[in-house]
Structure 1
């Protein structure tokens, strides 16, 4: 289970953060990050294009489909973000991997597979003119994706939410922390549940559940009063300093969790 929960606020100077030996150049990190992501997506797409779906819908084992289409892998950080901040997430992911061997799960890299899977299921098993049938495949795919994302989050050491004007908005009168994204709502809800399990031993835990993601982020509806007070605030520079100093001088790359623990304890 993820043990350290952070919120990384929008960087005022995202293009360069100056730590001489670990300089973050946004444009270069985006370029290199997308090159790696594109190679990985191409390999995955080739595999999924040839995926052997059964002839009949009642022979489809969705548990096995989920394992094949949304493999868990091994990751250190679950990087939650708005789709509009994909470049920033890709850049941070590449930077942390290159400099500190930290592997980030960038959740937006999975969304394309979900849409491809939905299209394939609809083409093979659905009557496009049957609303209930189409709605059923959409529910299955979104639930599979949500389940896979929760499993990845559970397997990571740390959860980092990129809190920007794209992910949480405060431009509605009388409404705080509004998001149009059901994915962000679900990921923050699950991170809150995990944080409560680990750290809220004195308070009675309120029942919270993640939603089944049927809502489209394109529709002008959303969720209000999103809770982020379980997340500790950090910056990319905090990560740079912690891993540069602690990694090289104290722990070495074999004890990344100890560095996350120190960062979590000292963050506000």
Structure 2
């Protein structure tokens, strides 16, 4: 990872600019979705052995991506359009994280039906379920971290669906000014942006900047104030300027497109 951005999209920018790229975004998502689906059965063997390392590696043996998008599943359509815009305008490939954690439960369901379910009692073994859940979640969190580390840029799609202000969860908060998320995956990804080493992009000069700088479920929130404070803000205006900086007549190489963005966000 080289840099990270905190981006809050406006309805206007989505409707006027991003939405027209929805078809491309849906195609990108469908391809990634297929790659994730294909791995679910492959490494769950009949002898009871689950090859966790091979499963994790296969799950993320996807073609290299330029940008990692962290987001709430409620914003998936906007994120698809955003990913389509990144590809159509700049040739940049985005990794949409929900393709992976959305199927975490499906993977668990397949494993649990095979190893934890009793046809006699028609119930699942509680201890075995805890065991399988911990392993699958560990595989996914590790794989997500590796993917974040491999991509050059992480963009957090910051909307009310992903970040909940204190008044929305007042019963479980002490500080009314704290920003929190109720998604463990978003919390993990934001926390990792504060820990991953900043890596200079290979084979090109880069712009120096401050990148481093059925039953009701219990609601658990996580403080993400520190991660957001360290994440430079990305605006609709900057994205529009970025798009305008790349001429369709003289397109910039995909691997150089992010440098254009850095020049806009971090001017000398």
Q: TM tier, shorter chain?
A: 0.7 to 0.9
Deviates most, 233-242 or 144-153 = 233-242
Give CA deviations for 1:143-176 in whole Å, capped at 9, x if unaligned: 1111111111101111111111111122425242
Distance 2:184 2:255 in 1: 36
The CA deviation at 1:240 is 3.6
Secondary structure class of the residue paired with 1:193: coil
In the alignment, what sits opposite 1:219? 218
Give CA deviations for 1:105-131 in whole Å, capped at 9, x if unaligned: 110111233222111211222245321
C-alpha contact 1:4 1:260 (8 A) present in aligned 2: no
Equivalent runs, 1:113-192 vs 2, <5 Å: 113-127=103-117, 128-172=123-167, 174-192=176-194
Deviates most, 114-123 or 240-249 = 240-249
The CA deviation at 1:194 is 2.7
Q: 1:33 aligns with which of 16, 25, 30?
A: 25
Deviates most, 87-96 or 70-79 = 70-79
Distance 1:189 1:177 in 2: 13
Gaps in structure 1 of 5+ consecutive residues: 18-23, 204-216
Secondary structure class of the residue paired with 2:99: helix
In the alignment, what sits opposite 1:213? none
Paired positions, count? 243
The CA deviation at 1:243 is 4.8
Secondary structure class of the residue paired with 2:12: coil
Gaps in structure 2 of 5+ consecutive residues: 118-122, 171-175, 201-208
Secondary structure class of the residue paired with 1:220: coil
Distance 1:75 1:166 in 2: 25
Secondary structure class of the residue paired with 1:79: strand
C-alpha contact 2:180 2:222 (8 A) present in aligned 1: yes
Secondary structure class of the residue paired with 1:124: helix
TM-score (norm 2): 0.78
Distance 2:230 2:218 in 1: 28
Matched, 1:78 2:68: yes
C-alpha contact 2:29 2:96 (8 A) present in aligned 1: no
Q: 1:155 to 1:39 in 2, by over 3 A?
A: closer
Q: 1:247 to 1:191 in 2, by over 3 A?
A: farther
Equivalent runs, 1:242-253 vs 2, <5 Å: 242-245=242-245, 252-253=253-254
Equivalent runs, 1:227-246 vs 2, <5 Å: 227=226, 228-245=228-245
Distance 1:195 1:7 in 2: 18
Q: 1:229 to 1:266 in 2, by over 3 A?
A: farther
In the alignment, what sits opposite 1:208? none
C-alpha contact 1:70 1:148 (8 A) present in aligned 2: yes
Deviates most, 249-258 or 48-57 = 249-258
Tell me the C-alpha RMSD between the 2 structures. 3.1
C-alpha contact 2:112 2:132 (8 A) present in aligned 1: yes
The CA deviation at 1:38 is 2.9
Distance 1:84 1:95 in 2: 19
Matched, 1:193 2:195: yes
C-alpha contact 1:158 1:260 (8 A) present in aligned 2: no
Distance 2:267 2:195 in 1: 22
Distance 1:221 1:16 in 2: 33
Distance 1:187 1:44 in 2: 19
Distance 1:261 1:33 in 2: 23
Distance 1:192 1:43 in 2: 29
